[in-house]
Amino acid sequence: MIPYLEQRRDMASSYTMVYVPVGNRHKGFSKPTISVGYCTPKRCLVAIAVSMVIGTVIIQLLLSFRHYLRDIHLRTDKDGELVIISKKIASKHNAVCLDGSSVPGYYMKEGIDEGEQKWLIMIPHSDWCNSMEDCRSSITSPLKGTMKKAPVTLQFTDILSSDPAENAYFADWNMIRLVPCSGSSYLGNSSVSQNDDYNKELRLNGAAVLAATLEHIISTTDISKSKQVVLYGEGSGAISALAYTHYIKSTLFVPNFTTLLSSGLLFDTRKSHFNVDKFFQLHNIKGNTVLRNCDSLTCLNAEQLLRSPRTSPVVVYTVGVPLWPLTTMYGCQNETDCTAKGYREKYFKAVTGLHTQHLQIRKLITILSHCDWSLKTTVTKEDPRIVNRSIYEILVESLSGNVKTAIYIDNGDCKGKGS
Ligand SMILES: *[C@@H]1O[C@H](CO)[C@@H](O)[C@H](O)[C@H]1NC(C)=O
Ligand SMILES: *[C@@H]1O[C@H](CO)[C@@H](O)[C@H](O)[C@H]1NC(C)=O
Ligand SMILES: *[C@@H]1O[C@H](CO)[C@@H](O)[C@H](O)[C@H]1NC(C)=O
Ligand SMILES: *[C@@H]1O[C@H](CO)[C@@H](O)[C@H](O)[C@H]1NC(C)=O
């Protein structure tokens, strides 16, 4: 039997069972002609409405699933992801890495929960090149002088770690690890491209790379709504973090801003074995308007930089005496050599002296410990304690804004190590 007919019959029989008031009996009650699949305007509207509701629910489910996946991704992914600056912004600033062709970028990890409105921006240590030959040797190294072959992700450790056990204060923050790919920690401002002996084009405009990077960050993130920003510089990156503190703070237009400087910053650059005149000329550091006519490394000396007017706090944090400043300053070769010649002690004393001199300057907090060789960025249980406190504790306290000026130095005998 054809199902359609069967249904008609059912309908008809149910119709006969409907109660109809007597008075209406002869008023031509027409037999309902509704058939299955037939769409009256009302039915259609209902059907459309129902499918719209179902559709919306499905879309919502998919969106929340996507959100859920993104959330899982943010919570489980500990690495920074490569972001390449938009071509438009890069060309507006004429920002290209040392290799003369690759567009600069940086690594980023998004913050979660409370950390969504907090930002840690790191300028890592990077080599300064002071001759064409020197610069050419780094144009093939990813992240040094080029972004070609830059890894898609970069492991974030130490102060960039998202493990609360290791990095309680910053673990859930937004984190950006910059890539100064111009051989000058963003300090250079040479507008002309130079050709080396092999007729390869080199670009030495670090300032333009920084300007483009900041513009890209502002245009693609919520950093302008941030509650707290910490600019963190390490090694040579600490020098540029201090030199650019005001510039970066005012460009990002953020009120709560602290500069945190780690290791390698406070050495007496006047005694450096590094050929500074060549570095200045090659990168046209004098043409950097932010540094205001800086024509010798003296103006990048911590002593000078700390003197310049400042509106935000600076925390200097030197855990360990890294080999790098010793070899550049005194020309010693390795750990054994530098220790034997007494340069390690000499360096630490010089740094301590510099800090003590600047104690009067408001908003300078200094944490110094010389019990290690390596350049430490995150404080572990193995680190020496200062006045029986972990360096991380002191660091966190100084970032909370309660401490305006202080100097913390270990006792020099390194006995507190590991306690
Ligand atoms: C770099 O130099 C150009 C002029 O060549 C100048 O317009 C620009 O402001 C400078 N940028 C910085 C950051 O110094
Ligand atoms: C350290 O440098 C000194 C002086 O150049 C050298 O004699 C020595 O072999 C070096 N030691 C190591 C472990 O490289
Ligand atoms: C140092 O701190 C630890 C715990 O943080 C404590 O047990 C110890 O007694 C302290 N030592 C001194 C000398 O205050
Ligand atoms: C910045 O924010 C932190 C965390 O909320 C706070 O402790 C600190 O006092 C603030 N600093 C300033 C200068 O507002």
* SS3 of the chain: CCHHHHHHHHHHHHHHCCCCCHHHCCCCCCCCCCCCCCCCHHHHHHHHHHHHHHHHHHHHHHHHHHHHHHHHHHHHCCEEEEEECCHHHHHHHCCCCCCCCCCCEEEEECCCHHHHHEEEEEECCCCCCCCHHHHHCCCCCECCCECCCCCCEEECCHHHCCCCCCCCCCCCCEEEEECCCCCCCCCCCCCCCEECCCCCEECCCHHHHHHHHHHHHHHHCCHHHCCEEEEEEECHHHHHHHHCHHHHHHHHCCCCEEEEEECCCCCCHHHCCCCHHHHHHHHCHHHCHHHCCCCCHHHHCHHHHHHCCCCCCEEEEEECCCHHHHHHHHCCCCHHHHHHCCHHHHHHHHHHHHHHHHHHCCCEEEEEECCCCCCCCCCCCCCCCECCECHHHHHHHHHCCCCCCEEEECCCCCCCCCC
What distance in angstroms lies between residue 333's CA and the mean position of ligand 2's atoms? 6
The domain of 44 spans 40-69
Same domain, 63 and 126: no
Q: Are strands 118-123 and 228-234 parallel, antiparallel or unpaired?
A: parallel
Bridge partner list, 230:
120, 258
Same domain, 100 and 201: yes
Q: What is the pLDDT of residue 361?
A: 62
Q: What is the pLDDT of residue 419?
A: 27
Q: What is the pLDDT of residue 384?
A: 67
What distance in angstroms lies between residue 287's CA and the mean position of ligand 1's atoms? 6
Give the closest ligand to the alpha carbon of residue 285.
1
243 lines ligand 1 (CB under 6 A): no
220 lines ligand 2 (CB under 6 A): no
What distance in angstroms lies between residue 271's CA and the mean position of ligand 1's atoms? 29
Q: What is the pLDDT of residue 188?
A: 93
Q: What does R_g of the chain's alpha carbons equal in angstroms?
A: 32
> Ligand 1, closest atom to CA 189?
1
What distance in angstroms lies between residue 364's CA and the mean position of ligand 1's atoms? 29
288 lines ligand 1 (CB under 6 A): yes
240 lines ligand 1 (CB under 6 A): no
Residue 15, in any domain of the structure: no
Q: What is the pLDDT of residue 71?
A: 73
> Ligand 1, closest atom to CA 288?
14
Pairwise CA distance, residues 106 & 147, whole Å: 9
What distance in angstroms lies between residue 402's CA and the mean position of ligand 4's atoms? 9
Residue 54, in any domain of the structure: yes
Contact 201, 146 (CB under 8 A): no
Bridge partner list, 257:
229
Give the closest ligand to the alpha carbon of residue 114.
4
Residue 76, in any domain of the structure: no
Question: pLDDT tens, position by position, for the chain (419 residues)?
Answer: 444 434 444 444 444 344 434 444 444 445 555 555 566 778 878 888 888 888 888 888 888 777 777 777 767 778 999 999 999 999 999 999 999 889 999 999 999 999 999 999 999 988 889 888 888 888 888 888 999 999 999 999 888 999 888 888 999 999 999 999 999 999 999 877 777 666 677 899 999 999 999 999 999 999 999 999 999 998 789 889 988 999 999 999 999 999 988 865 555 544 556 677 888 889 999 999 888 878 877 777 766 777 766 678 888 877 767 677 777 778 888 888 988 898 878 877 777 777 777 666 656 777 777 666 555 555 555 666 777 777 788 888 888 877 777 888 776 555 544 32
Residue 5, in any domain of the structure: no
Residue 302, in any domain of the structure: yes
Same domain, 57 and 100: no
Same domain, 45 and 177: no
Residue 332, in any domain of the structure: yes
Same domain, 343 and 379: yes
Same domain, 111 and 53: no
Residue 418, in any domain of the structure: no
334 lines ligand 2 (CB under 6 A): yes
Pairwise CA distance, residues 267 & 283, whole Å: 21
Residue 12, in any domain of the structure: no
Same domain, 269 and 396: yes
Q: What is the pLDDT of residue 311?
A: 73
Q: What is the pLDDT of residue 416?
A: 45
Same domain, 357 and 250: yes
> Ligand 2, closest atom to CA 335?
1
Q: What is the pLDDT of residue 23?
A: 44
Same domain, 277 and 168: yes
CATH number of the domain within which 133 lies: 3.40.50
Same domain, 199 and 243: yes
Same domain, 56 and 140: no
Same domain, 191 and 235: yes
Probe residue for ligand 2, chosen from 332, 337, 344 as the CB with the greatest number of ligand atoms within 8 Å: 337
Q: What is the pLDDT of residue 4?
A: 42
What's the total number of domains in the chain? 2
